[in-house]
Amino acid sequence: MENDPVPSANLTATAGTPAPGKRKIWNARIAVLFVALLVSIFPGPQLRPAEVAQISLQPDGLKCEWQSNPLAVNSTTPHLSWTLVSTERDQYQTAYQVLVASSLSRLAAENGDLWNSGKVDSSRTIEIAYQGKPLASRETCYWKVRVWDKEGHPSPWSAPAYWTEGLLKPSDWTAQWIGDGESSQKHTSAVVLRRDFHLRENAKRAIAYVCGLGQFELHLNGKKVSEDVLTPGWTNYRKSDLYLTYDVTPLLRKGPNTVAVMLGNGMYNVEKTARYTKFVGSFGPPKLIFQLEITYADGSTQRVVSDASWRVLPSPVTFNSIYGGEDFDARLETAGWDKPGLKDSAFPKAVIMAPPGGRLMAQEIPPIRVMQVYKPVKITEPEPGVYVYDLGQNMSGWPQIAVRGPRGASVKIVPGELLDPQGLVTQRSSGSPEWFRYTLKGSGIETWHPRFSYYGFRYLQIEGATRNPAESNGKPVLISVAGDFVHSSAAAAGTFSCSFDLFNHIHHIIRAAIESNMQSVLTDCPHREKLGWLEQSYLMGPAVMYDFDVARLYAKIIRDTSEAQLPDGLVPDTAPEFAVFGGEDNPFRNAPVWGSASILAAWETYRRYGDLQVLQDNYTTFERYAAYLGSRARDHIVSFGLGDWYDLGPKPAGFAQLTPIAFTSTATYYRDLVTLSRISAVLGKKEKAEGYAALAGEVKKAFNRKFFHPETDSYATGSQTSNAMPLALGLAPPSARALLLKNIIHDIRVHGNAMTTGEVGFPSLLRVLEDAGRSDVIFNMNSRRTAPGYGYILKRGATTLTESWTADPRGSQNHFMIGHIEDWFYRGLAGISQSADSVGYKKIVIKPQPVGNITWCKADYNSVRGEIRSEWSRENGRFNLNVTLPPNTRDEVYVPATSSDTVTESGRPAAESPGVHFLRMADGYAIYQVGSGTYHFAAPANDQEQHTPATSSP
């Protein structure tokens, strides 16, 4: 078999993740020119220039398992996806052909020796399962695709892509788990391991597979191998352990080489210390498994593996805790610790350690990285010799400093979100005490940042140093101080802005809070808890998914729920369940709204990305959890949980105050059953689908018997949550819907245009108002600058969304759990959504709801089909709507208008415009069916607010 190297010119070998930041969207015309260039480069049937000019549809953005050119996938039947590019309107795919080859040369010769799908008459572009020859561990598969357009014309082949199979069987590993042999209680310091090895010649290819628990940093020949930090991702280490895969060919050389690894505790080993920790628990002491597989030009191979021949070096990281901080003593760093030439025979040998117990799996989620660096916007000295650096932005991350000073002097760095009245950092809202400390080696300018601990902060308080070299008196001199924003490198998916600047600021603080808590799990906060509280994953799911490409992250989160599930079917409130909050009667361990993420986040993922695998892989979890809730119900009523967490009652925020806990728990149980019925139908399980639908019907009857008050057309206590959830979830009788909506709006007005909901009820409240065409009420609620609400949070100076509606300084200042308006920004105000029966944005709906004094709004969303863009403005008596839609979709555009006769598209009557088909007038909109392309609609401005019924879903 040919074994072509991965060519750097066309196939960039990364850790299998997209580059950070917004994915670049190619202009369609440039893409066509690029295709023409590819046609000239790659061998195969050539197109004549005239044919190139007629290219109407071109595949692009090839992915395997939602990753670009992954170096290790866990499936031998991985799923392939692509997007389509076209300069034409209403263009779509009628067929495709996939070629998969064992080498680039075979692929270029159109020899799909692993798989040739042949021409498949289908419009599918996502989740195409590989159906070729059986694949083995380490096997690299090169692939490309071509498509046929609506006229039956074939496109040129796409640019090639590849994936590589991971280490699929335990026998693929010859490496052993190693460590320093100390017990977990003695590991406040990090572990440093190294080994020298020799290459007889330069390597043709070298792939490193590494898992270091809790976190690791890998070096080869004096260089850090990647930009990844806080890796691997957190899991239930007894169930699964994630390894990272790196192409390290450029870092190796003929002759002596050195591999070195530093291990931190992470969530694997959380011990009680003198500093803050949320919980105490350990899976064991830090340990490493490492396997470097080297291939030479003649095809021979060499392995370098972790075993007892490795050496244990003194650690300069003298303290590390995922909660409490990190200390580094530069005097203890062994010179040349990660380079060849160090005589290490005097250092103790590594000790073979017991495996952690979980299955080794390739990490397929985007790695954590330093995504942005913030420099100080203000520096104060509230006490002599104590400096406070204001970075201007709350964030998850760590400090980076540059100092100069005498050997043995140390600098203490205290991070925090808030300042006390004296101007000093306070950690009252975020878990205390936590700090970082750096001890100098006394050699020139020294730079440092932590490796294994992060925190949520805006301010850095520096003690033990001076900013003035003339007044050092033996103290270190601060050269620079900055903050590293550390979070998932998941690519950005959407952008939003509008003429109402308050909404732009709200968008910023929500997005920054999402980023801060988007680690290898979705944490609640980046300091006090750092736990994967599950309700956010679906209650905030639409918002998170509009902002970021989280297909792989959500697949992991849902797998985490399966691994956390107890034998009786309970899914705990957090996953992975590092901290066990009591028994099954404790709502902080067992709350139905939280555990239901196992079902509801999976469905959200399927709807957004078309990921059927996530439903198939976790279906047993769904069924067991639904059965568990049923076993705990009495007459179909589920009475335990946390309720509408952080609603606005007379007491301090926390447990539900305005709405019965049984109400939200039972409503969510009903939603679980309805969703499980839909999942069963999608998976072809007809009888189960019917059974769950019937059970949902029984729960609905019981719910209405207990909570509905027909004499007042209200539910339970009549709170906003009480009336909104039945409307949003389909529990309310049709005859009561109008009066329920009226009661909701009345309650909002009575409270001064304010919400009273918590995080459970607020998304239902927004959805009900939006679907009823009452975005004017949403605008009224969220354009206020008094408590409670986003405007007040901003007024208090927040730069990330806070835990409470009142920005209570006693609570976290970096929580994204009440950021649901982010969904409305994209879906309601800008108008980007998909129809209720659509999966993966196959049927796009553009339906803007212009409200208030907003004169323009624009948003784009990079869906699995391609870029969707909506941009509208109201000026000079005209409403203008510019829309861009990807190929291979069938879409509807709603133009606010009093008559279709007044609507134009690209300057001509809309009904006469190519690719535009008038459907109907409804509720103040002229509705058109269109396909792909860019459209420019205009109509006389309608100053009346749009009050329209539901037409779409996220």
Establish whether the linkage from the previous residue to 433 is cis, with ω within 30° of 0: yes
pLDDT of residue 159: 98
pLDDT of residue 186: 73
Confidence of residue 404 (pLDDT cuts 50, 70, 90): very high
> Which of 36-45, 443-452, 815-824, 859-868 is least confident?
36-45
Indicate if the pLDDT at residue 315 is higher than 80.
yes
Q: For residues 500 and 566, is the Cβ–Cβ distance under 8 A?
A: no
Give 572's contacts (C-beta < 8 A, 6+ positions apart): 564, 566, 580, 589, 590, 594, 595
- State the average pLDDT over residues 897-924: 97
Using DSSP's 3-state secondary structure scheme, residue 706 falls into helix
Indicate if the pLDDT at residue 56 is higher than 80.
yes
**pLDDT tens digits, one per residue of 154-191:** 999 999 999 999 999 999 999 999 999 987 667 899 99
Name the strand (E) or helix (H) holding 425. Answer: strand 425-426
Indicate if the pLDDT at residue 782 is higher than 80.
yes
Indicate if the pLDDT at residue 949 is higher than 70.
no
pLDDT of residue 944: 44
pLDDT of residue 430: 95
CATH 2.60.120.260 intervals, the chain: 173-299+342-362, 368-488
Give 458's contacts (C-beta < 8 A, 6+ positions apart): 390, 391, 392, 393, 394, 395, 416, 417, 418, 799, 813
CATH 2.60.420.10 intervals, the chain: 844-940
Distance between alpha carbon 15 and the CA centroid of its chain, in Å?
17
Indicate if the pLDDT at residue 318 is higher than 90.
yes
pLDDT of residue 471: 84
- State the average pLDDT over residues 928-938: 98
| CA 710 to each of CA 110, 128, 743: distance values in angstroms, whole numbers, following the listed order | 69, 50, 13
Spell 79-116 as b/e; 16+ CB within 10 A means b.
bbbbbbbbbbbbbbbbbbbbbbbbbbebbbebebbbbe
Spell 152-165 as b/e; 16+ CB within 10 A means b.
eebbbbbbbbbbbb
pLDDT of residue 28: 36
pLDDT of residue 104: 98
> Which of 7-21, 566-580, 681-695 is least confident?
7-21
Q: For residues 616 and 607, is the Cβ–Cβ distance under 8 A?
A: no
- Helix/strand/coil percentages in the chain, nearest 5: 25, 30, 45
Using DSSP's 3-state secondary structure scheme, residue 882 falls into strand
pLDDT of residue 472: 83
Selected from 3.30.465.10, 2.60.40.1260, 2.60.40.10, 3.30.830.10, the CATH number assigned to the domain covering 28-164 reads 2.60.40.10
pLDDT of residue 470: 87
> Which of 2-6, 217-221, 313-317 is least confident?
2-6
pLDDT of residue 15: 34
Of 155, 180, 366, 361, whose CA–CA distance to 269 is shortest? 180
Give 712's contacts (C-beta < 8 A, 6+ positions apart): 718, 743
> Which of 174-183, 398-407, 771-780 is least confident?
174-183
- State the average pLDDT over residues 767-796: 97
Indicate if the pLDDT at residue 50 is higher than 50.
no
Distance CA 561, CA 622 (A): 10
Q: What is the DSSP letter of 89?
A: T
Confidence of residue 665 (pLDDT cuts 50, 70, 90): very high
pLDDT of residue 25: 36
Confidence of residue 683 (pLDDT cuts 50, 70, 90): very high
pLDDT of residue 942: 76
Question: Based on the number of CB atoms within 10 Å of its own CB, is 43 exposed (0-12), middle (13-18) or buried (19 or more)?
Answer: exposed
Class of CATH domain 844-940: mainly beta
Distance CA 818, CA 653 (A): 13
Spell 409-423 as b/e; 16+ CB within 10 A means b.
bbbbbbbbbbbeeee
Write down how long the chain is: 954
Indicate if the pLDDT at residue 47 is higher than 50.
no
The residue ranking higher by pLDDT, 123 or 5, is 123
- State the average pLDDT over residues 729-745: 98
Q: For residues 544 and 517, is the Cβ–Cβ distance under 8 A?
A: no
Distance CA 11, CA 65 (A): 17
- State the average pLDDT over residues 80-88: 97
The reported pTM is 0.93
Confidence of residue 54 (pLDDT cuts 50, 70, 90): low
Q: Are strands 878-885 and 455-463 parallel, antiparallel or unpaired?
A: unpaired
Indicate if the pLDDT at residue 937 is higher than 60.
yes
pLDDT of residue 902: 96
- State the average pLDDT over residues 634-655: 97
CATH 2.60.40.10 intervals, the chain: 28-164
Distance CA 770, CA 845 (A): 14
Fold type of domain 368-488: Jelly Rolls (2.60.120)
With tokens 């624009």, the residue in question is 858
Give 880's contacts (C-beta < 8 A, 6+ positions apart): 872, 873, 874, 936, 937, 938
Indicate if the pLDDT at residue 32 is higher than 80.
no
Confidence of residue 14 (pLDDT cuts 50, 70, 90): very low
Establish whether the linkage from the previous residue to 542 is cis, with ω within 30° of 0: no
Using DSSP's 3-state secondary structure scheme, residue 681 falls into helix
| Number of other residues whose CB lies within 10 A of the CB of residue 406 | 12
pLDDT over 90 for what percent of the chain? 92
Using DSSP's 3-state secondary structure scheme, residue 334 falls into coil
Give 952's contacts (C-beta < 8 A, 6+ positions apart): 827, 833, 834, 835, 836, 845, 847
- SS in 3 state form for 134-203? CCCCCCEEEEEEEEECCCCCECCCCCCEEEEECCCCHHHCCCCCEECCCCHHHCCCCEEEEEEEEECCCC
Average pLDDT of the chain, as a whole number: 93
Domain made up of 173-299+342-362: CATH architecture: Sandwich (2.60)
pLDDT of residue 943: 54
With tokens 């490795």, the residue in question is 310
pLDDT of residue 947: 42
- State the average pLDDT over residues 120-143: 98
